[in-house]
Chains A and B, each alone.
Chain A
């Protein structure tokens, strides 16, 4: 669909996913030129991408868009944690003011055809009143009042406003589930990289993941397809947190909610793990999103399911637990192979298995 000679502007190229996406787009034959924009230069190799050092929080961005004759903007610089940029105020400025400036610049750009915004399913929040699967039309049950979730909600609001003012531009909002992969550094991946994983006592949330490669693929697909609308993007299926931790073969410590929050803030101040406050809600109540519209309207199919994406993330991590499995494997060696179709057990199941099941 994309005519030859498209010029794509990508924001947030200083971070790993943004940089890799810009490189991937630059390799696309239908794309003529890729301009990467960020306040700080990217660390890795950006290949054919021409980097412009510009802060999207000031009007310089408008000049870049006009001068480079950009027709497609991919907004990827909505960040979930302050990280190295400073405190929460800086993060909020980058996310909200940055998006406002970018959209203002886009509105003045006559040649603009498409805007793709990478959003997050965090916008749905996480609470005990949530439906099992959020569709794109549903509102969060508890409107987020702070942090990343509020930023994302505000960013989406401004993007919808832009879509109303410029109906000729195809605006695609991609609400990505938690992105996971061996190279991703996010609050959730650093949580799973802890040697002992703290969980919330008495809750077992449902989690959905999107593989990093699938995120890059869906963004490229959105540039080409130019389908306007909001789409949930997530891998198929659900993993429970307990299941995910068991697959990692890492021990978990159930803690009461306030203790998990405190552990999280301690880890954050110690720079061990990037633990964001809204993560506690996710780790308590979990979240699932419906991806029917992604398949039918956007026409995108993620290559990896939630479980496969998590397995790819878990592969390079050394197990710090898994003793129970090794013990069971040793016992099982002395016994014949179980039948391929395990029928239900006859007779009562011994009570001691309950404890062993916890792993």
Chain B
């Protein structure tokens, strides 16, 4: 009990760790290549001579008198020769672009230069095909295939060319269903769906420029007819905010289909109407509440409250991974009707109801087939 051992602090002048003046014994052992320092004692040199070599080559045989290693010796470029860097870059390029990496990289650089110099073409709606194909679709595809595991049925109902109007139900608090329809149609038919968006879309910053670049335009009869006349595949969600912002308890109940403007546009241009039923989008953000006064202040149609948003903050924006089913129905032909059909309100209402009923019935049958929400 009485004989307490005194443990000295520091190394008492002996070479040890971290004095900065002399290398540690471990370092000496490494530097001398395993030879004991006693063997090095004979060719003893003066200090300044070995100091001059620092920075270029690692002083392998500095011995006990080698000056302390400083950070100057360890600059990141010092030890790696240029050929190694080149090899690393080549290896990296091969990893990313495959065996044909040189032409691939050249092509990629050409693409980048085209973007940087503005040497690309957009159509009159501001649709940027290159960006849509390379970035938007590439980003959405994994979400569609891996997260929502979208199953598409009835793709053969989409005409390979010529104008057509895809009419879909709308749900999911945020228009994710539109984006998923976009990527599903592109992957299955190679055609770009041109969505018609509410004027809110074109008022919001970032959203508006992204919408125009991805091919959307304003949901008005002028633009719809213009696009259909030029043979585009146009997508419309006639429920609008009533559909997308409905409560979770009202899921899969179709809301009113606007004023039937989409039917008039299809009748005037004589293109087929393709009903699309989307199952699964209702469950991604279950809308359990709304903050109407705050929404009014922000100028939005509604401000959603879901079980996870705003409670979990940004994490609440991650959609639930529900299983999605997309079914394209039989096209409803409009070219057989006579010219003045678009101005006959009763006919327009009838066709609107027909489309609405078709989508609602398909929704019910898809819900019956679905095993569960997530499977």
Q: Which A positions have Cβ atoms within 8 angstroms of B?
A: 128-133, 135, 138, 200-204, 206, 237-240, 242-247, 249, 285-286, 288, 322, 324-325, 328-329, 331-332, 335-339, 342-350, 353-354, 356-357, 359
Contact = CB atoms under 8 A, between A and B. Distances in A.
Interface in B214-229: 217-218, 220, 222-223, 226
A240 B103 contact: no
Contacts of B124: 132-133, 206, 237-238, 288
A202 B208 contact: yes
B202 A128 contact: yes
Nearest to B209: A204
Given A349-B134, A353-B112, A128 B106 contact: no
A332 B109 contact: yes
B97 A339 contact: no
Given A346-B98, A357-B115, A339 B121 contact: no
B199 interface: yes
Contacts of B116: 246, 322, 324-325, 328, 356-357, 359
Contacts of A239: 118, 122
Interface residues of B, number: 50
A285 to B, nearest CB: 7
A332 B122 contact: no
B108 interface: yes
A243 B103 contact: no
B122 A329 contact: no
Interface of B: 96-98, 102-113, 115-126, 128, 133-135, 138, 199-200, 202-209, 212-213, 217-218, 220, 222-223, 226
A134 B313 CA distance: 42
Given A243-B120, A245-B118, A325-B113, A133 B226 contact: yes
Contact of A204 (B110, B126, B217): B126
A336 B105 CA distance: 9
Question: Which label, helix, strand, loop or mixed, suits the secondary structure of the A interface?
Answer: loop
Nearest to B107: A338
A353 B96 CA distance: 13
A345 B134 contact: yes
B217 A132 contact: yes
A128 B202 CA distance: 5
A326 to B, nearest CB: 10
B112 A247 contact: no
B111 to A, nearest CB: 7
A329 B114 CA distance: 11
A277 B131 CA distance: 32
A203 B217 contact: no
Contacts of A242: 118
Contacts of A322: 116-117
Contacts of B120: 243
Contacts of B206: 202
Nearest to A285: B202
A128 B138 contact: no
A132 B226 contact: yes
A187 B373 CA distance: 57
B126 A240 contact: yes
B372 to A, nearest CB: 31
A73 B8 CA distance: 107
Contacts of B122: 206, 238-240, 243
B123 A350 contact: no
Given A206-B212, A348-B138, A131 B107 contact: no
Contacts of A348: 138
Contact of A350 (B96, B133, B202, B213): B96
B93 to A, nearest CB: 10
The 10 closest A-B pairs by CB, nearest first: A202-B205, A246-B118, A204-B209, A335-B106, A128-B202, A247-B118, A131-B222, A128-B203, A243-B118, A338-B107
Contacts of B223: 131-133
B117 A325 contact: yes
Contact of A238 (B98, B112, B123): B123
Contacts of A356: 112, 116
